[in-house]
Structures are given as C-alpha cells and as structure tokens.
Amino acid sequence: MTAGTAGPAAGAVAGAERIDELRLSVDALDRQIVALLAQRTAVVRELTTFKKDEETVRSPGRVAQVIEKVRGLAVEEGMPPGIAERVYRTLITELTDLQMELLAERRAAARPAGTAVAPEGTA
C-alpha cells in the first residue's frame, strides 16, 4: 500500500487521534466539574456553621431529596440515573464526614480549657 492511502492502519491512526481529542474534552470537563465541586463544598461548609448536632448534619430527609433530584436531572440530561445516584451518595458521605469533623472541632473550641471529653468507653 502506498503511503497516505487509507487502509486499516489509517483507521487505527484516526481512532487514536480521536481518542486523544476526546481525552482533551474529558480533561476540560474535569476542570469544570472539580471547580463546581469545590464551590459546592464551600457552600456546604458554610451551611455547617449553622448546624448544631449530628442529626442535622446527617439530615436523611434532605439526602433522599438530593438523590431524587439528581436522578431526575440525570434522566433529563441523558445519563444513567444510577451513576448520578452513586456519585452523589459518595459525595454526600464524604461531605457528611467533613461536617462531623467541623462540628467536633467547633465543639472542642467551645469547651472551657481542661474539660476534654473522655474517649468512648473510659468514662
């Protein structure tokens, strides 16, 4: 085959080029997604400053609402809703852990000096 003639090898090159192009699109989208996740995390951090107990941090009713909402949005946007649900469940679990840490830090800072809480099982 003469150089430049389209054949199976040319198809493989075109395929590899397209993969590179599409990976650039994925990279650009990841930049936007992480920027949005950082914004969302900042909002949740602020929200946490108004929470006073573990029950409000966990808010199972709100979690159910968010999951239903993102499943619906996924369907509207043409992606499998189960993927959106699992991504959000992971995100919310991580943000709940973060909120529990922030709550514990705030409580520790509010306690008078020398009144540290005894570790579980030692009281």
Ligand X SMILES: O=C(O)C(=O)C[C@]1(C(=O)O)C=C[C@H](O)C=C1
- Run of H or E residues at 8: helix 8-48
Instruction: State the residues that interact with ligand X by CB under 6 A.
Output: 44, 47, 57-59, 62-63, 66, 92, 95-96, 99
The answer to whether 70 and 85 have CB atoms below 8 angstroms apart is yes
Query: Would you say 14 or 47 has its CB closer to ligand X?
Result: 47
Q: Rank residues 23 and 49 by Cβ distance to ligand X and give the closer one.
A: 49
Gyration radius of the chain's alpha carbons: 24
* The two three-digit tokens of residue 108, written as one number: 């520790």
* Closer residue to ligand X, CB minimum distance, 27 or 53: 53
Min dist. Cβ of residue 78 to ligand X (A): 23
